[in-house]
Amino acid sequence: MNEVIQINTDVVQDPTLPTTNHINCPQCNAAEAVFFQSYSTKKDAKMNLFYVCKVCRYKWTCVE
């Protein structure tokens, strides 16, 4: 979870990041968030998707 803490919430203003309305924010239940993938150098690492709510700027992750 340390990676989530390091995310700058200003990413919600980045027009190059994809936006989704298919997942609700765990904090405010808004349905719009930007998301991006983490890049790990570990061979056995799973792909992590990081989300930032566009309404309240709450940060969370989902492991795929």
* pLDDT tens-digit readout, 37-56: 876 666 666 778 899 999 99
Assign 62 a pLDDT band (cuts: 50, 70, 90).
Answer: confident
The helix/strand/coil state of 5 is helix
State which CATH number among 2.20.25.10, 2.40.110.10, 3.10.530.10, 3.40.50.1010 fits the domain covering 2-63.
2.20.25.10
Domain ranges of the chain: 2-63
DSSP state letter for 29:
-
CA distance 6 to 25: 18
Helix, strand, coil content of the chain in percent (nearest 5): 15, 30, 60
pTM higher than the cut 0.85: no
